[in-house]
Amino acid sequence: INAEYMGADVYTQQSNMAHTFNEMPQVIKNASQMSTHERRDTEIIKQLLDRYFSIIRKNIADQVPKSVIHFLVNKLKKDLQQELISAMYKEELFGELLREADDIATKRKAAQKMLTCLKAAQDTLNEVRDYRI
């Protein structure tokens, strides 16, 4: 890579210390008066800027739908949660909401009977074990 192309000559020459990359030039040359080196640099900068802005456009185009969906989903979630909670906390529905389902009640009763039988069997086994002749 040419050192002059990278701007090394700006920092090495004492007479040109006032010119830096951040300053605007006093005179802007017409494109027809530019050297081939300056035209090439200008074209490279144009291409880099075009690529940069196309990347930025793509990133923004990708982010906008994501942001819209994010806010819509969050609003819907909040509204739905409020609606469900308000529907659930109606006092006239407490009895229905707290009522045990019939199949669960049947399973609970069967489990209680099984527990009673198992406790009786355990007591019987303990008596046999503790029995002394």
Any residues with CB less than 8 A from the CB of 38 and at least 6 apart, and which? 29
According to DSSP, residue 99 is labeled: S
81-127 residue pLDDT tens: 999 888 777 778 778 878 889 999 999 999 999 999 999 999 999 98
How is residue 4 written in tokens? Answer: 């002059």
Please tell me the distance from the alpha carbon of residue 42 to that of residue 37, in angstroms, as a whole number: 9
Quick one: pLDDT band at residue 8, thresholds 50, 70, 90? very low
Determine what percent of the chain is predicted with pLDDT higher than 70.
77
40-78 residue pLDDT tens: 998 999 999 999 999 999 999 999 999 999 999 999 999
**Is the pTM here over 0.75, yes or no?**
no
Q: What is the pLDDT of residue 116?
A: 97
Displacement of CA 6 from its chain's centroid (Å): 40
Please tell me the distance from the alpha carbon of residue 42 to that of residue 55, in angstroms, as a whole number: 20
